[in-house]
Amino acid sequence: MAFFFFFVLVCILILLAIASYVRFARRRKEKGQGHGGYGGLKLPPGSMGWPYLGETLQLYSQDPNIFFTSKQKRYGEIFKTHLLGCPCVMLASPEAARFVLVTQAHLFKPTYPRSKERMIGPSALFFHQGDYHLRLRKLVQGALGPDALRALVPEVEATVRSTLAAWDGRVMSTFHAMKRLSFDVGIVTIFGGGLPPRWKAELRKNYSIVEKGYNSFPNSLPGTLYYKAMQARRRLHGVLSDIMRERRERGEPGSDLLGCLMQSRADDGVAPLLTDEQIADNIIGVLFAAQDTTASVLTWIVKYLHDQPKLLEAVRQEQAAVREATDGGRRPLTWAHTRSMALTHRVILESLRMASIISFTFREAVADVEYKGFLIPKGWKVMPLFRNIHHNPDYFQDPHKFDPSRFQVAPRPNTFLPFGNGVHACPGNELAKLEMLVLIHHLVTGYRWEIVGSRDEVEYSPFPVPKHGLPVRLWRENRTVDRTPPCE
C-alpha cells in the first residue's frame, strides 16, 4: 500500500513537471523569446534548472548563502533562476534593491504563498499596497513611534528581567528563550500591560500551534500540522474577538496598538472603522513579525559577545555606567538611558549585518520591467538579496569579520537593509532595537554565560540560527555555578 501511494505521488509530480514545462514553453513562444527576446530585451543570465522543480533542490540541499553567492560570482549582480515553482530574478546590488523597493516600488507587489496569507490573515498590512496599506502602516508606526516606546521601556525591562531570572542557573536554548521574550514584548506592545493572564495563556498556546504549522506543507487533512495550525488560527481570532468585545463593553478601547486599530478611521474621516477580521489579521501579523526575526538576532548577539571577550568587556563598561546612572539598578531604565548606549548600538547594527536574518525579500513584477538592459517579465518573482549586499567587500571591508567599529561611520546608502526599505520596510524596527538594548544591558551587567556544545554550526528554521538554538548556561554575576553537564 505504501508503495502504491509513493508511485501515485511520483506520477503526479511527473505530470505537474510536464504541464509546467508545456506552459513555460508556450509562454516563451508567445512572448517571442526565441526571436530576439521580449520586445528586443534579453532575460538576465542564469539557469532555470529542471521543469517545475527548477533549482529548488540545489537551494535547499546546501547553505542558501553558498547557493546565492555562487550564482552571483558566475552571473553577476542580476541573474535568473527557478525556485518553488516560480521563475525568479535575483538582484544583489544596492541600486537594484532601491529600484525594486523604493523608486519603482509600484511595479513590484509584495507576494506570499496563499497558504501563508490564509494562516496570518489576508488583511495583514504586509500583504497589501495602496491606500489600505498606507492607512495600516501609519497606525502601526504611530503605536510603535518614539512617544509610545518611551512609555514601553518599563514593560520591556520587566519582561527582560523575568526572562533572565527564569534562565538563571540553567542550560537553555537561547533561541527558545528569546522567542518567549519577543512574544511577551509583542503582547505588551499590542495589549498594554493589563492583559488578563487567561487571555495571554490562550494567545500563547494557540500562537505556538500556528507557528509550528506556518512552514509546513499546506495539507488540510485532519491531523496534519497545517490543519492544526488553521484550527488554532480560528481560535486566535476568537480570543481576539473576545478581548475586543470586552473593551467595547467597558467603553475603553485603550491607547495601545489594539486600541489604535479599534478606533481607526481613514484620514478623510469617511472610511469605516476596521472590521474585527481586519484587526485580528493585523494583530496576528504583528506577532509573527515581532517574534522569530528578533529572537534570531538576539541569539546571534549572545553568541557574538561570547566569542569576543574584549568587546564584551567594553560593552560591560559602557553598561556599567548606565547601571550607575540608575542607582545600581534600583531605578528603572528610561528611553534616555537607551539613547546613551553608543557602543552597544553598534554591536546591534553589526549583528544585524553579519547575521542578515532576512536574507532576501519577495516581490512580484506587475508589468514587464526593464532594468539595466534586461527584462524582468510580468509575473516573475523578484528577490533583492540583502545578505549578499551586506557581505560584499565593496561595501563592507573584510565582511566576514565581526567589527562594530565599522558603524562609527554611516554605511553607504542602500548597502545596509536589515529591516528592508521603502514603504514596506519593517515598521517595528525601533521596538526591536529597544528590546535588544535592554536585553544586553541586563545580560552583561547581571550575568555570565557560556555556550554548551558546538558553537559554529548553523541551521535554518527558516531564519539562520546557531545549531540547536545555541544552548547556553547562564548564571548571576558573583555566583558559583555547577558546570555538571545536564542529564539527557
Percent of the chain with pLDDT over 70: 88
Q: Residue 383 forms beta bridges with which residues?
A: 90
Instruction: Return the minimum-mean-pLDDT range out of 14-23, 79-88, 151-160, 283-292.
Output: 14-23
Helices (H), 192-224: 197-214
Output the 3-class SS for 270-287: CCCCCCHHHHHHHHHHHH
**How large is the average pLDDT for residues 21-28?**
49
The contacts found for 371-374 with CB under 8 angstroms, 24 or more apart, are: 371/78, 371/91, 371/96, 371/99, 372/78, 372/96, 373/41, 373/42, 374/41, 374/42, 374/43, 374/44, 374/78, 374/89
Q: Is 70 exceeded by the pLDDT of residue 402? A: yes
Residue 54 DSSP symbol: B
**How large is the average pLDDT for residues 433-447?**
97
- What the block records as the C-alpha cell of 41 is 530585451
Q: Is 60 exceeded by the pLDDT of residue 1? A: no
Q: Residue 88 forms beta bridges with which residues?
A: 81, 381
Identify the pLDDT of residue 271: 66
The tens digit of pLDDT for each residue in 225-277 reads 999 999 999 999 999 999 999 999 999 888 889 999 998 865 555 667 899 99
What is the rounded CA–CA span in Å between residue 33 and residue 48?
15
- Which has the higher per-residue pLDDT, 95 or 128? 95
Helices (H), 168-263: 174-191, 197-214, 225-250, 257-262
What is the rounded CA–CA span in Å between residue 417 and residue 389?
9
What is the rounded CA–CA span in Å between residue 361 and residue 98?
13
- Domain borders along the chain are 2-120, 125-356+423-476
What is the rounded CA–CA span in Å between residue 226 and residue 119?
9
**How large is the average pLDDT for residues 166-180?**
96
Q: Is 70 exceeded by the pLDDT of residue 482? A: no
Identify the pLDDT of residue 331: 94
Q: Which of 246, 293, 253 is nearest to 273 (CA)?
A: 253
Contacting residues for 228 by C-beta, under 8 A, at least 6 apart? 209, 212, 213
In a 13 Å sphere around the CA of 175, the CA atoms on its Cβ side amount to 19
Q: Are 142 and 148 in contact (CB under 8 A)?
A: yes
**pTM to 2 decimals?**
0.87
Identify the pLDDT of residue 485: 52
Q: Is 70 exceeded by the pLDDT of residue 488? A: no
86 in a labelled binding site: no
- Which has the higher per-residue pLDDT, 5 or 131? 131
Backbone angles phi, psi at 374, to 5 degrees: -105, 155
C-alpha torsion angle, residues 432, 438, 439, 443 (rounded to 10): 160
The tens digit of pLDDT for each residue in 118-155 reads 889 999 888 888 888 888 988 888 888 888 899 999 99
- What the block records as the C-alpha cell of 216 is 509546513
Identify the pLDDT of residue 26: 47
The CATH-assigned architecture of domain 125-356+423-476 is: Orthogonal Bundle (1.10)
Q: Is 50 exceeded by the pLDDT of residue 4? A: no
Identify the pLDDT of residue 67: 86
What is the rounded CA–CA span in Å between residue 65 and residue 420?
18
The tens digit of pLDDT for each residue in 27-44 reads 544 444 433 445 678 999
- Cβ burial of 291 (10 Å; 0-12, 13-18, 19+) is buried
Identify the pLDDT of residue 172: 97
Confidence band of 113 (pLDDT split at 50, 70, 90): confident
Task: For strands 78-83 and 86-91, give the pairing.
Answer: antiparallel
**Which amino acid is present at 309?**
P
- Which has the higher per-residue pLDDT, 79 or 457? 79
Q: Residue 466 forms beta bridges with which residues?
A: 458
Percent of the chain with pLDDT over 90: 60
Instruction: Return the minimum-mean-pLDDT range out of 26-30, 172-176, 301-305, 306-310.
Output: 26-30
Q: What is the mean pLDDT of the chain?
A: 87
Query: Where do we find the cell 533572565?
Result: 164
Task: For strands 381-384 and 86-91, give the pairing.
Answer: parallel
**How large is the average pLDDT for residues 55-64?**
75
Identify the pLDDT of residue 13: 47
Q: Is 90 exceeded by the pLDDT of residue 441? A: yes
- Which has the higher per-residue pLDDT, 288 or 448? 448
Task: For strands 369-371 and 374-376, give the pairing.
Answer: antiparallel
The tens digit of pLDDT for each residue in 323-371 reads 999 999 899 999 999 999 999 999 999 999 999 998 888 899 999 999 9
